[in-house]
Every structure is written in structure tokens, then in C-alpha cells.
Structure 1
């Protein structure tokens, strides 16, 4: 986790970590993740909103979500909602492509992966 241009409270970091740990229930192959916490308007000494950005690495895919709100906790909740949806959709697409029903349908239609010999290329 990275707090950009400020020091984040340990209780906030623990809150975000606990939320992110729950993502394993939606996708079991998360490789890594990064969190960036930013203060919008920090340069003018009047913080307008708090921004939470999360980048997750999955096999063959990178997910990035950015949300802002009045507090880091509520922005984190909004990020989690979007990430849950994205993870479920990504896992569903992955399962759809490799599902036995699709493989069987492709083979029945005669759609198979063609294999070419070196002299045919």
C-alpha cells in the first residue's frame, strides 16, 4: 500500500487489507495487488476528496479501479464493489471458454484447432 504525499493511519491500512483479503473468495488466482491512497486538493491545504486506487494482477489480466469519496473507508467500499463484479465476470469468461460444454460443441461443429505441419506453412 502506498499513501501518496501523506502518512496513512495503521487502522486505515488494516481496514483496507482486511477488505482486500476477502477478494480471494471471488477469484482464487490473484497474483498480487497494489493500493494507492491519494488526497485530492492536498496542494491547496484543503482536501476535497479521498481517492483509492487498486491494481490487481491476475494470470493474463490486470484490473484497475479508482474511486473517490469523502472518506477512505467509503471509497474502499466502492472499490471493493467494482472489483467483486470485475473478478466474477473475468472468472465467468475464463470458465465459459474452457467449459466442457463449449469444447464439446466446438468439436461437434467441426471447429477444432488446426495443426499445420512445418511443410504446410
Structure 2
């Protein structure tokens, strides 16, 4: 799986990038045929609470699945995005099994 990380309006640290790659890689346990994962990190209105916007787009055969969360930290956002994506992947996997 290819993981692409985009940080908008700031530079993501090495530690944050490693954290993201580790978390997103766990999605392969839920669904093996993931070809791409794209993570976008954005700081919205700096100096306010809940200003870190995290989005995760996963490409699976024939479809793209998308999740977006807004939190206080990017780590929290990634955790929530990965959890939500696991649910979507599980539903997608069940749909494809029935076909």
C-alpha cells in the first residue's frame, strides 16, 4: 500500500509522519486490496481549539472511501479517521463478498 501524506499550511514532523504511516498500515489487516492511502493534514483558523483537520482517502478496487475529522491534535484525528475507515472497509468488504 502506498501512503501519501500532505500537510497544508505547515510542515509535518518526522515523528508525525511515522505515526501516520504506522496507523494507516493497520488498515491492511481489515482489507488487503488497498492500493493507495492519502492523508491530508490541515490547520484551520490557528489558535482555536479543534483546529486540526485530518482527512483520509483510501483507494480500493473500483472505489474511493473518504473520512474527515476535526480534532485538537493530528494524532487524535488520525486515530478517529483510521477507526472510521475500518468500519467503511468492513462494510465494503461485506458488499463485495455478496456479489
Is TM > 0.5 for Structure 1 vs Structure 2?
yes
RMSD: 0.9
Give aligned pairs, total: 94
Whether 1:18 aligns to 2:22 is yes
2-structure distance, mates of 1:60, 1:70: 33
Q: Which residue of 2 aligns with 1:118?
A: none
Which structure shows the bigger proportion of residues in helix conformation? 1
What are the equivalent positions in structure 2 for 1:80-91 lying under 5 Å apart? 80-91=82-93
Per-residue CA deviations over 1:32-87 (Å, capped at 9, x if unaligned) read 11111000103xxx244111111111111101110011111111111011100000
Where do 5+ consecutive residues of structure 2 fail to align?
Answer: none
| Structure 1 residue runs of 4 or more that deviate by more than 6 Å after TM superposition | none
SS in 2 for 1:28: coil
2-structure distance, mates of 1:31, 1:14: 19
RCO comparison, higher one (Cα < 8 Å, 6+): 2
Q: Retained in 2: the 8 A contact 1:39–1:47? A: no
